[in-house]
Structure 1
Amino acid sequence: MAEVSRRRRFATAAMIGVVVYALVVGVLQLLPPHYDPIREAESNLAVGPFGWIMNLNFLGRTVTTAFALLAISRVGPATGLRRVGLISFGIGGASSAVLAFFATDVDVPSGTGSATSTPSGLVHLLVAAIGFAAALLGILILTAWLRYQSELRQTYRVALAFAALAAGGALWLALSATVAPGLIGLAERICLTGVLGWTFFVCAGIRRAS
């Protein structure tokens, strides 16, 4: 019973973390210098007078992922599929914390933030790419694992939908970087919506089942 209670608390904490992260991003986009969410990468929010808030938000996303991992790890018996999914998803979450310490290079003419001219910007870009890939792989694997968890059967379809959204956003993000840089912000946010939405609703399912 105590284990079920802990699982419920971890899931609830992760859900709150997702909501806080999304609210902070939404507010920061409205503050000076008024970032364009369609054109500019989310990392640009960490540059400027309110950048420190976004850096804290990056750290918060890592904590949110940790709570989600703790909740998921307490569902059903341990399997290789779950273990690999958790490791990959965890790498994606940990990368968010690294981003807080390496500022991106904001491409002033286009505002995409995709050009790098400093070591910090290069590290940020590489870590962000690795983080996106790892998080996406993690939720795809964990979605496959969810299919076989009877207590989360109702959650599977929602998880699959958000995993597909994240995958579509990631594909668009890869194409936007070279074909349509003016839409890189939108593509990134679609991918993040998939990842964060997956986290929220999977944890909501775990909370209901607890």
Structure 2
Amino acid sequence: MINPVLNAKPISALAARLSVISGVIFVIILGSLHFLEPEFDPTWRFISEYALGNFGWLMHLAFGLLAVSLISAGIVILSQARNITGYIGLVILGLSAIGIIIAAIFVTDPISVTPDDATFSGKMHSIGATLDYTPVAALLISFALARNEAWKVIRVRLFVTAGITIIIMALFILQIPHDGQFGPNVLAGLFGRILIVSYLGWILIVGTHALKLRRQNPKV
């Protein structure tokens, strides 16, 4: 039987707050890098390339915060989405967080570097990036949470925010050139930014509702 209320353990409330705060700070840092490192055209250069500039440490920090946000959301969801769909979603969310941590540790190569000339760090970064399927995790978890009585009230918001990330992910994939040649006419950088920022919408919905449930049931 699915627990209709949020686990009242302190770690659940802490995780919910941490998920929201770290997600918001991630977006703020990412936004600031557009001004701090304007040499990277946001329409076709990937956000990972900010790690190559003078404020590269901020990009490492931003990736770390995003991973913390996803892991914290997973901790909150663990006690709320107890069905096979939820567990699959949580596994994908965990793999996505691991991928982002890998991307945070290893610096990407410039977008002009061919796969044959890629460095070890660049290859590892790419592996980490390919593990990020947060939109798929968000959609599966939303289906699982929608079965929980305490979460049904926000199921539309869950599906809308998760659905937006899925749509943007599809649009982002369509922007990747088949020949691997990126340039100003390829909008992969723009759609990549929109995609990763869209994660925040779903994270905020999950985190804020979890905190609301905690306030309503402080002694459960």
Distance 2:83 2:94 in 1: 16
- Structure 2: gaps (5+ residues): 215-220
Distance 1:2 1:149 in 2: 10
Structure 1 residue 98 displacement after superposition: 0.4
2:37–2:50 CA contact under 8 A, matched in 1: no
1:169–1:190 CA contact under 8 A, matched in 2: yes
Whether 1:175 and 2:180 are equivalent positions in the alignment is: no
Structure 1 residue 154 displacement after superposition: 2.4
Structure 1 residue 12 displacement after superposition: 1.2
Distance 1:178 1:120 in 2: 23
> 2:70 — aligned with what?
65
> 2:41 — aligned with what?
36
2:73–2:203 CA contact under 8 A, matched in 1: yes
> 1:126 — aligned with what?
127
User: Normalising by structure 1, what TM-score?
Assistant: 0.87
Structure 1 residue 120 displacement after superposition: 2.3
Distance 1:2 1:124 in 2: 36
Secondary structure at 1:30 match in 2: helix
Distance 1:141 1:25 in 2: 27
2:80–2:145 CA contact under 8 A, matched in 1: no
Secondary structure at 1:187 match in 2: helix
Alignment of 1:33-182 (within 5 A): 33-75=38-80, 78-108=82-112, 115-116=114-115, 117-118=117-118, 119-131=120-132, 133=133, 135-178=134-177, 181=182, 182=186
2:46–2:189 CA contact under 8 A, matched in 1: yes
Distance 1:156 1:175 in 2: 29
1:164–1:194 CA contact under 8 A, matched in 2: no
Gap change, CA 1:2 and 1:138, over 3 Å in 2: closer
Structure 1 residue 3 displacement after superposition: 4.0
Q: For structure 1, which segment, 176-185 or 93-102, has the greater mean C-alpha deviation from structure 2 after superposition?
A: 176-185
Tell me the number of residue pairs that the alignment of Structure 1 and Structure 2 aligns.
Answer: 202
> 2:218 — aligned with what?
none
Instruction: Give the percent of matched residue pairs that are identical in Structure 1 and Structure 2.
Output: 22
Structure 1 residue 43 displacement after superposition: 0.7
Q: For structure 1, which segment, 180-189 or 46-55, has the greater mean C-alpha deviation from structure 2 after superposition?
A: 180-189
Structure 1 residue ranges (4+ consecutive) displaced by more than 6 angstroms after TM superposition: none
Q: Which amino acid aligns with 1:176?
A: Q
Q: Which amino acid aligns with 2:127?
A: L
> 2:191 — aligned with what?
187
Distance 2:190 2:37 in 1: 19
Distance 1:130 1:8 in 2: 28
Gap change, CA 1:204 and 1:2, over 3 Å in 2: closer
Per-residue CA deviations over 1:124-175 (Å, capped at 9, x if unaligned) read 22321221x3x22211110111211111122211121111111111111111
Structure 1 residue 33 displacement after superposition: 4.3
Gap change, CA 1:168 and 1:98, over 3 Å in 2: same
- Structure 1: gaps (5+ residues): none
Q: Rg bigger for which structure?
A: 2
Q: CA RMSD in A?
A: 2.2
1:10–1:67 CA contact under 8 A, matched in 2: yes
Structure 1 residue 2 displacement after superposition: 10
Structure 1 residue 71 displacement after superposition: 1.0
